[in-house]
Structure 1
Amino acid sequence: MSFRSLSVGGANLVPFPGRTPGATAAHRDPLPVLIVLHQESSTPGRVGNALRALGHRLDIRRPRFGDPLPDTLDRHAGAVIFGGPMSANDSDDYVRREIDWIEIPLREQRPFLGICLGAQMLAKQLGARVAPHPDALTQIGYYPIRPTAAGHTLCPDWPDQVYHWHREGFELPTGAELLAEGDDFPVQAFRAGHAFGFQFHPDVTYAMMHCWTTRGYDGFGAPGARARHHHFADRAVYDVVERAWLKQFVDGWLACRPVLAQAAE
């Protein structure tokens, strides 16, 4: 199943709607957010923290280990597919099922966020190519991004550099709006209606960074990768802005929910 015929033209590309202060608290039981993770030890990190702070429960699923995905998002406020060491090009059944499943939030126009692998899955669902850098470059550590005019309109105060851990990138899907760009991997953030894809990792907490840089030490020898000590030195410089930007993004992202979904609560 594919959703490549989806119209994601300029009519959908508008700034986040404003959220009335206390609007989330006004709902006695906000809908949960679907969380898709790819390893037994994975967590939703800072994205999960931001969602919980808004009053949302987390419905955590791991399709890789047999968890099903819902047939509709009528009972969810939105969905997030996180990263992992696998590739969106892998032939594993759960990888293909997740890519196909993204058709549901796209068709139902529900808030969807893909982070790193999740963004690559979204790009593939929309018909874009996912591939390694032609010179085998990687991004492991902090790297600069440049928000576009559309990115600034949507959500101001982007960080100058953000955290990455990936060996592949993706093209901008046809009809999608580029929100942030980079050098070696040009597409860093994009929007297609209510769906967003980030090549970078705003979800990574300090504890997660310790874990990744310990277990993933073999990645530091890859072309373009930053040495481990730079990860923590750069975090001290860039993380405060990235954390504040993420909170602002998550709040506006969930405010994109259709009126009918909100009324259902």
Structure 2
Amino acid sequence: MKPVAIFRHLPIEGPGYFATFLDNNHIPWQLIKIDAGAEPPDSVDSYSGLVFMGGPMSVNDDLPWIESSLKLIKLAVAHDIPVLGHCLGGQMMAKALGGVVKQDPFKEMGWGKVKVPENPVARAWFDDLSEFETFHWHGESFSLPEGATCILSSLYCENQAFAMGIHLGMQCHVEMTERMVKDWSDVSFEEVIQLNVPSVQSPAEIETNLTERVTKLNTVADRLYTKWIAALK
């Protein structure tokens, strides 16, 4: 099998549990470090799937690699190469496919519940799961591209995930590991403690029952990732 290309935009926002999942399922993958100066390829021919991770930048920023990444997503969709996006990655997918990414009224940072809507597409991805706790770290969100279906929502963000055929774009972070949660909390410590809004947790709240929370989230990620890799060629 050709490798899955994973695009990283910040060193601490790597593939996390997704890499572990691929290794456990004996699927080759290649990390493309955009943060280290690597450029998105011009073709999807060398990959069985494309995965875009998060990052602190906006998809609307004037950065040299964003436009080429959007073109690559369009190309992959046109050739039925599965695309998967986490947070910024989900926003990139939405914009590439015709959606709009804009600033939210407030940031969403920390652990929070998401609900699975009652529609056939959501059921195909989540089966009987109706809600779960996931990790959030965003100040922008996406609208749904034409032909996409919302498959997750939260109190503070209507579109937490969308599916369009074999492609999955998420606003939330199901790829988290304990190390990633601690690193993000440490790096953003000052910001988090100053944002006194219900949608942002304190560092202490973020790290409460961390092992149990991450383990449960890994189980949900397994469900989503298992369906996604089924379309890899």
Per the alignment, residue 231 of structure 1 pairs with 206
Q: Note closer, same or farther for the CA distance 1:93–1:70 as it changes in structure 2 (3 Å cut).
A: closer
How many positions carry a matched residue from both structures?
A: 227
Aligned partner letter, 2:227:
G
1:177 to 137, 149, 155: 149
* Pairing of 1:120-139 with structure 2 (within 5 A): 120-133=91-104, 135=105, 137-139=106-108
User: Alpha-carbon deviation of 1:72?
Assistant: 3.2
- When Rg is computed on C-alpha atoms for both structures, the one with the higher figure is 1
Gaps of 5+ in 2: none
User: Alpha-carbon deviation of 1:240?
Assistant: 3.0
* Pairing of 1:68-87 with structure 2 (within 5 A): 68-87=39-58
What's the TM-score, normalizing by structure 1? 0.80
Tell me whether 1:49 sits opposite 2:20 in the alignment. yes
Contact persistence 2:44–2:72 (CA under 8 A): no
Q: Note closer, same or farther for the CA distance 1:158–1:208 as it changes in structure 2 (3 Å cut).
A: farther
1:190 to 131, 137, 162: 162
Using the alignment, how far apart are the partners of 1:213 and 1:148 within structure 2?
Answer: 30
Per the alignment, in what secondary structure is the counterpart of residue 102 of structure 1? helix
Contact persistence 2:177–2:214 (CA under 8 A): no
Per the alignment, residue 142 of structure 1 pairs with 111
For residues 22-53 of structure 1, what are the alpha-carbon distances to aligned partners after superposition, in whole Å with 9 as ceiling and x for unaligned? xxxxxxxx321100001245421001110111
What's the TM-score, normalizing by structure 2? 0.90
Aligned partner letter, 1:168:
E
Using the alignment, how far apart are the partners of 1:211 and 1:99 within structure 2?
Answer: 28
Per the alignment, residue 125 of structure 2 pairs with 154
Higher strand share: 2
Using the alignment, how far apart are the partners of 2:2 and 2:130 within structure 1?
Answer: 28
For residues 188-211 of structure 1, what are the alpha-carbon distances to aligned partners after superposition, in whole Å with 9 as ceiling and x for unaligned? 010112211110111110011111
Residues 65-74 or 52-61, more deviating: 65-74
Alpha carbon RMSD of aligned pairs, Å?
1.8
Per the alignment, in what secondary structure is the counterpart of residue 215 of structure 2? helix
User: Alpha-carbon deviation of 1:74?
Assistant: 3.2
By relative contact order (CA 8 Å, sep 6+), the higher-ranking structure is 1
Using the alignment, how far apart are the partners of 1:86 and 1:219 within structure 2?
Answer: 16
How many percent of aligned residue pairs carry the same amino acid? 25
User: Alpha-carbon deviation of 1:121?
Assistant: 0.6
Aligned partner letter, 1:227:
S
Q: Note closer, same or farther for the CA distance 1:237–1:94 as it changes in structure 2 (3 Å cut).
A: same
User: Alpha-carbon deviation of 1:158?
Assistant: 5.9
Contact persistence 2:54–2:87 (CA under 8 A): yes
Using the alignment, how far apart are the partners of 2:130 and 2:55 within structure 1?
Answer: 24
For residues 170-199 of structure 1, what are the alpha-carbon distances to aligned partners after superposition, in whole Å with 9 as ceiling and x for unaligned? 111122111111122100010112211110
Tell me whether 1:242 sits opposite 2:211 in the alignment. no
